[in-house]
Amino acid sequence: MMMPDRRRAVLTGLGAVSCLGAGAEAHWAGLLAGGAAPREVDLPYMHMRARRMYLTPPSAIPADPGTHAGIPLGPAPRMAVAAAREALADAGIGRGDTVRIPVVMGVEMGNASVQEEQRGAGGTPPWTPLAVTAAVVAEAVGSRAGTAGLGNACAAGGYALGVALDVIRAGEADVVLVGGAEGITRVGMAGFDRIRVTDPYGCRPFARDRAGTVFADGAAFAVLESAAHAASRGARPYAELGAAAWSCDAYHHPTAPEPDAVQLVRAMRNALADAGVRPEQVGCVLPHATGTPVNDAVESRALRRVFGDSSGRPPVFALKALIGHTSGAAGMFACLTAALIASRARIPANAPLDQDPECDVWLPQDGPVPLNRPAVLVNSCATGGVNASFVLSRVGDPA
């Protein structure tokens, strides 16, 4: 599957640190094994109903906190550096070749854990900016090109991927390092707990008894480069990124999505059209699917509008049921997972659930199923009605 004739972009390197361990291969193996389970977060001042997260094992988080311009670095930037380095190594790009590679990231809370730790220790903490992660990654990998950190809430990773694609298409760079990273933050957990959209047990998208989302920490990165540049150096792509599309509900409610999903449908259809992919060519959908009652129902309706109610609709893989909701990094974890699905032509099984009849989508649960069509559609949405959809397509034979 190839996008229309223009400057094409492919994914040539992947890196991840998450509750499934360190490395993209650990991520894939963990998905095939059924994913992780949330654990209790043991932090002071955790006065909230839902206290669980899908937590990255301490052994997977680089131990040396280090600093950036004198700023202490929490786990999120450290995980980001590890995932970024893995993605570059996986793509076969050495440190001497990174000077002109821009870094684009989706990050919401960023270095917030450092602020919280300093405030919890008493006294007046020094001012510590949140948005240092992209700069930290650029410094660590030797980039002297531009950096950007997008904070579009839980759609930040999807928007970052769209920005990276625009940079490639515009000819402003041959290679972009794009990713997302989030750590543990009491502020983030408490905010969602306060508006009652967190589940005290686990993340259960599309389940009859779902009660909200459950957050996770981690970092996911990809090397995106023009297809011509990848071919010139003999790189083997995981997948082609055919398109990314954005939309906004502009709905009157501050958190709930627009009930008819008009703008989410628009984003999906625009992404498919821009990639030159028809709905019947989509072999898998990775939905946003956070486990919140309203959002899952609305997204299910949107998927039915795009793909219909027939038996030909594609299988859906609800990633967050296996790794939790990584907030600003969620879109990049979905991208990484979609690239692995496309390259291996295999879709992991969904977590077992008692499916809500209102969420009438196909969720294979008995084991992995083949990717029988060439394209994968991904949705990344956020509070405030922010939507991003993107399309990845298989390149060559399965790995």
Asked if residue 142 has pLDDT above 50, the reply is yes
CB atoms within 10 A of CB 222: 31
Encode pLDDT of 32-61 as tens digits: 999 999 998 877 666 777 778 899 999 999
Nearest to 291 by CA among 203, 209, 188: 203
DSSP string, 297-333: HHHHHHHHHHH-SSTTPPPB--THHHH-B-GGGHHHH
Rounded Cα distance between 99 and 139, Å, is 10
Higher pLDDT, 257 or 339: 339
**Helix (H, G, I), strand (E, B), or coil: what is residue 166?**
helix
Q: How far is CA 173 from CA 143, 151, 167, in A?
A: 12, 22, 6
Q: How many residues does the chain have?
A: 399
Identify the pLDDT of residue 188: 72
Encode pLDDT of 179-219 as tens digits: 999 988 777 777 777 777 788 889 999 999 999 999 899 99
Asked if residue 123 has pLDDT above 60, the reply is no
Rounded Cα distance between 212 and 226, Å, is 39
Top mean-pLDDT range of 31-35, 119-123, 307-311, 381-385: 31-35
CB 110 within 8 A of CB 135: no
CB 331 within 8 A of CB 294: no
Half-sphere exposure in the Cβ direction for 192 (13 Å, CA): 27
CB atoms within 10 A of CB 44: 9
Identify the pLDDT of residue 3: 45
Asked if residue 68 has pLDDT above 50, the reply is yes
92 secondary structure, DSSP code: T
